């Protein structure tokens, strides 16, 4: 086997010298793998929510057009990176082959079913056939192959829950795990996009970490997601509003917090132009975590400057230590949360 680079630069065709994520084109030839790669027989692509929403809108909801866009993305790039949002997603598959250099260094064996916890935007991918599109959960079943680099992280699919349930939760594992790390007892936490997949997990974790002296506020988009979140009981306040309207939402948050605003705001939405809502609703001494890949960090930085906000802003890194374990444990701890995830995603 040919020797590969730990970070996968040996798969970069254009431009030479960059890492796989920003590369324009990757080598997705799966006939031969490098000595430090894992070949995966792909079952399902869990497309990033912002990416799938953009693709679905561009296709007018037509599944054949969605297929054509996805196949074109992979044909042009050797990976599935949305050229508009820049994001990818992750995948579920079976280990087909392990490079010689990794034998004895990994706990994986051929046949193991895993979820990759690195973005499709840096994963060499070949799609042979798109079998089914499930728009309601941003999942696409395919026949195809993918490569996991030596530096790539993954999670074995647990045996105590359906694989599609685990995949849906692991796709957003960074958000609840970062919530667990950031929220302290007594904090007032605003979660934007609280009724979605990552939002519900964050609400559960925020309630646990903020405790009885804290406060969790959930902002949802639709009445349906608002009612669902209220029924879960993870938030002290839940309301629905358009997250792209910062002034109206600021007025609501001022009422709820008696003008004190949020200590921490977690943005999980899959649409653009919600940066200023996050910033305005957070104290100057507070923190905003932008998990959403629809975030424009230019808008966030310049917008905060424009309103004189000294809020600390964190880029939504999808990885933090132990994130897979934390997220799966939430589904084990909360029967109500697991039931909703099983109904919606499994």
Token pair in block for residue 226: 């608002």
Reply yes or no on whether the pLDDT at 168 is more than 90. no
pTM of the model: 0.86
Give the start-end residues of each E strand in the chain.
Answer: 12-14, 25-26, 38-47, 89-98, 113-116, 125-134, 139-148, 154-156, 188-192, 215-220, 237-240, 262-267, 282-290, 312-315
SS3 category, 47: strand
Total Cβ atoms within 10 A of residue 126: 18
Q: Are 50 and 85 in contact (CB under 8 A)?
A: yes
Whole-number pLDDT of residue 166: 92
Per DSSP bridges, beta strands 237-240 and 89-98 are: unpaired
SS3 category, 287: strand
Whole-number pLDDT of residue 93: 97
Cα–Cα distance between 102 and 239 in angstroms, integer? 50
Q: Are 331 and 165 in contact (CB under 8 A)?
A: yes
Q: Are 40 and 114 in contact (CB under 8 A)?
A: yes
Cα–Cα distance between 322 and 329 in angstroms, integer? 11
Angle at 253 between CA 247 and CA 255, to 5 degrees: 110
Domain with CATH 3.40.50.720 in the chain: 174-345
For 150, 188, 237, 274, 312, the CA distances from 215, given in Å and listed in that order, are: 42, 5, 8, 22, 20
Per DSSP bridges, beta strands 125-134 and 38-47 are: unpaired
Token pair 């977690």 is found at 266
**Cis preceding-peptide flag for 15 (omega within 30 of 0):** yes
pLDDT band for 191, please (50, 70, 90 cuts): very high
Q: What is the pLDDT of residues 15-67, one digit of tens each?
A: 999 999 999 999 999 999 999 999 999 999 999 988 999 999 999 999 999 99
Cα–Cα distance between 105 and 69 in angstroms, integer? 38
SS3 category, 283: strand
Q: What is the pLDDT of residues 80-107, one digit of tens each?
A: 999 999 999 999 999 999 999 999 999 9
Token pair in block for residue 335: 């029967």
Please compute, for residue 28, the number of CA atoms within 13 A of its CA located in the half-sphere on the CB side. Answer: 25
Domain 174-345 CATH (choose: 3.40.1160.10, 3.30.360.10, 3.40.50.720, 3.40.140.10): 3.40.50.720
Which residues partner with 312 through β-bridges? 287
Whole-number pLDDT of residue 128: 98
Cα–Cα distance between 337 and 334 in angstroms, integer? 5
Whole-number pLDDT of residue 346: 73
Q: What is the pLDDT of residues 254-280, one digit of tens each?
A: 999 999 999 999 999 988 999 999 999
The per-residue DSSP string of 66-131 comes to HHHHHHHHHHHHSS---TTT---EEEEEEEEEE-GGGTTT-S--TT-EEEE-S-GGGS-EEEEEEE
Could you give phi then psi for residue 198, rounded to 5 degrees?
-70, -35
Provide CB contacts within 8 A for 73, sequence distance 6+. 80, 81, 82, 83
Whole-number pLDDT of residue 323: 94
Token pair in block for residue 45: 């692509």
């Amino acid at each position: 086997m040919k020797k590969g680079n730990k970070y996968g630069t040996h798969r970069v065709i254009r431009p030479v010298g960059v890492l796989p994520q920003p590369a324009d084109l990757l080598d997705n030839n799966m006939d031969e793998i490098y000595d430090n790669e894992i070949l995966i027989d792909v079952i399902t692509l869990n497309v990033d929510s912002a990416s799938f929403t953009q693709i679905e809108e561009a296709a007018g909801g037509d599944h054949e057009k969605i297929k054509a866009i996805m196949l074109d993305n992979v044909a042009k790039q050797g990976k599935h990176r949305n050229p508009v949002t820049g994001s990818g997603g992750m995948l579920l598959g079976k280990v087909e082959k392990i490079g010689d250099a990794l034998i004895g260094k990994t706990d994986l064996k051929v046949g193991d079913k895993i979820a990759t916890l690195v973005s499709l935007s840096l994963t060499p991918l070949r799609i042979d056939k798109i079998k089914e599109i499930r728009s309601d959960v941003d999942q696409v079943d395919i026949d195809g192959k993918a490569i996991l680099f030596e530096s790539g992280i993954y999670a074995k699919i647990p045996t105590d829950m359906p694989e599609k349930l685990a995949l849906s939760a692991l796709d957003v594992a960074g958000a609840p795990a970062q919530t667990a790390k950031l929220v302290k007892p007594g904090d007032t936490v605003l979660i934007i996009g609280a009724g979605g997949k990552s939002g519900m997990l964050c609400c559960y974790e925020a309630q646990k970490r903020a405790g009885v002296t804290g406060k969790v506020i959930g902002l949802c988009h639709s009445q349906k997601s608002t009612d669902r979140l209220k029924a879960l009981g993870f938030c002290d306040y839940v309301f629905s509003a358009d997250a792209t309207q910062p002034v109206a939402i600021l007025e609501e948050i001022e009422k709820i917090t008696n003008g004190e605003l949020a200590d921490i705001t977690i943005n999980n939405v899959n649409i653009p132009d919600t940066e200023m809502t996050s910033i305005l609703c957070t104290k100057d001494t507070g923190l905003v975590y932008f998990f959403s890949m629809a975030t424009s960090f230019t808008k966030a930085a310049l917008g905060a400057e424009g309103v004189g906000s000294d809020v600390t802003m964190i880029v939504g890194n999808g990885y933090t230590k132990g994130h897979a374990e934390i997220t799966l444990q939430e589904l084990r701890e909360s029967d109500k949360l697991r039931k909703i995830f099983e109904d919606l995603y499994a």
